[in-house]
Amino acid sequence: MPTATIYRLSFRAPLHIGERGVALEETRLHVPADTLFSALCTSWRVLFGAEALERELLDWFSGTEEEHPFHLTSAFPFAGEVLLFPKPVGRLRNLLLSSGDEKSFKRVRFVSREVLAALARGEPVRFSPKSCINGGVAWVSEGEMQKLAAFVEPAGDQAVLWRTATVPRVTLDRISNASAIWHFGEVHYAQGAGLWFAAVFNPAHGDQLTQRFDAALALLADSGLGGERGAGRGLFTFTKSEGDLPGVEDAPYFVTLAPFCPKDASQLAALTADRPAYELIARRGWVTSPEGSNLRRKTVWMFAEGSTFSAATTLPGCLVDVTPEPCPHKVWRYGYAFPLGVNMP
């Protein structure tokens, strides 16, 4: 695994990451890589123009893996030095789980770096509900639990990195002016917590690529990420640092940190040849360009973060054409995996 650039996003306002088909009172706790990529492309176009977006970014993804400008993970929660990752999908063979703790383990959605590293190496790892934080949603090691002591509230016994809230709203019917109440979900991150994601840049594209990436992210920070940006939701600041991610070199399997779509049937067959464990998610959304902002992208089903597959010789995934009719330009969805080598499934 090459050295990655780690971006930490600290939110200045609540965040809402929704999904079509799910009520607006629901919100995701993380930002999928394809959503992040689309938001960056929108900022790229605003700053440098539509031609630059095609020439400097999208066209390179139609070439070989060595030509790609960068690859992204999804954005997952962090607090202080502790980074959270998606829990690997499926029953882990090296997991030691006491009877009675199955429900607690099913509730876990994120694991810490040290927990994921131990699972990836194939070491026996014992799960305990006492090692969970934030209502049992995240599983961290004993050492990382101590690093999160500042996030334990006086009246509680677990670190709280974020809270979700349901905000009531009222809408008026355009014809009758009758009012109707609806609810909107949003995430509030604690001071010192937020979301992180990793990017691996292709050095062949030079420093200008990184500079433009950071400029696009800075514009996104000031314009907002997710839903209700017009009401000030999703604003953030960010920092960046270099670091390594957990994973095992030359491992027989990998866990993906980004949702992805195989490029063809042969790649899918190779990935699922030996005990795959995965979840499928439907990815939808609106076109955000000025020419097609009233159009919905075509739906595509992708493998979710945390899914486990056989190791591949090339980077799995592709840019998926989700252009709706009659949009005058191509619309793409980022569908590349971000693999971490693991010895289990």
Please give the Cα distance from 92 to 136 (Å, whole number). Answer: 18
Report the predicted TM-score, pTM, of the whole model to 2 decimal places. Answer: 0.91
Q: Could you tell me where the DSSP H helices lie in the chain?
A: 33-48, 50-53, 59-61, 102-107, 113-121, 142-147, 206-223, 265-271
Cβ proximity of 131 and 142 under 8 Å: yes
Give tens-digit pLDDT for 48-103: 999 999 998 899 988 888 889 999 999 999 999 999 999 999 878 888 988 889 99
In terms of average pLDDT, the best of 13-27, 75-89, 148-162, 166-180 is 75-89
Q: Tell me the average pLDDT across 108-120.
A: 94
- Judged against a pLDDT cut of 70, whether residue 315 lies above it is answered with yes
- Judged against a pLDDT cut of 60, whether residue 21 lies above it is answered with no
**pLDDT band at 24; cut points 50, 70, 90:** low
Q: Tell me the average pLDDT across 153-163.
A: 86
- Judged against a pLDDT cut of 60, whether residue 243 lies above it is answered with yes
- pLDDT, residue 16, reads 87
Cis amide linkage into residue 124, ω under 30° from 0: no
Rg, Å, the chain Cα set:
20
- pLDDT, residue 2, reads 58
Which of 99, 154, 166, 156 has its CA nearest to residue 133? 156
- Judged against a pLDDT cut of 70, whether residue 22 lies above it is answered with no
- Judged against a pLDDT cut of 80, whether residue 242 lies above it is answered with yes
- Judged against a pLDDT cut of 80, whether residue 37 lies above it is answered with yes
Residue 17 carries which DSSP code?
-
**pLDDT band at 264; cut points 50, 70, 90:** very high
- pLDDT, residue 23, reads 57
Give tens-digit pLDDT for 284-307: 888 888 887 788 889 999 999 999
- pLDDT, residue 158, reads 86
**pLDDT band at 165; cut points 50, 70, 90:** confident
Long-range contacts, stretch 174-182, CB < 8 angstroms, 24+ apart: 182/24
122 compared with 19, residue with greater pLDDT = 122
Q: Are strands 125-126 and 95-96 parallel, antiparallel or unpaired?
A: parallel
Which of 198, 50, 328 has its CA nearest to residue 59? 50
- Judged against a pLDDT cut of 60, whether residue 20 lies above it is answered with no
- Judged against a pLDDT cut of 70, whether residue 6 lies above it is answered with yes
Q: For 207, list phi and psi in degrees, rounded to 5.
A: -70, -25
The mean of the pLDDT values for the chain is: 90
Please give the Cα distance from 227 to 18 (Å, whole number). Answer: 7
- Judged against a pLDDT cut of 90, whether residue 174 lies above it is answered with no
Long-range contacts, stretch 142-151, CB < 8 angstroms, 24+ apart: 143/114, 144/82, 144/112, 144/113, 144/114, 147/80, 147/81, 147/82, 148/79, 148/80, 148/82, 150/80, 150/192, 151/79, 151/80, 151/190, 151/192, 151/193
68 compared with 26, residue with greater pLDDT = 68
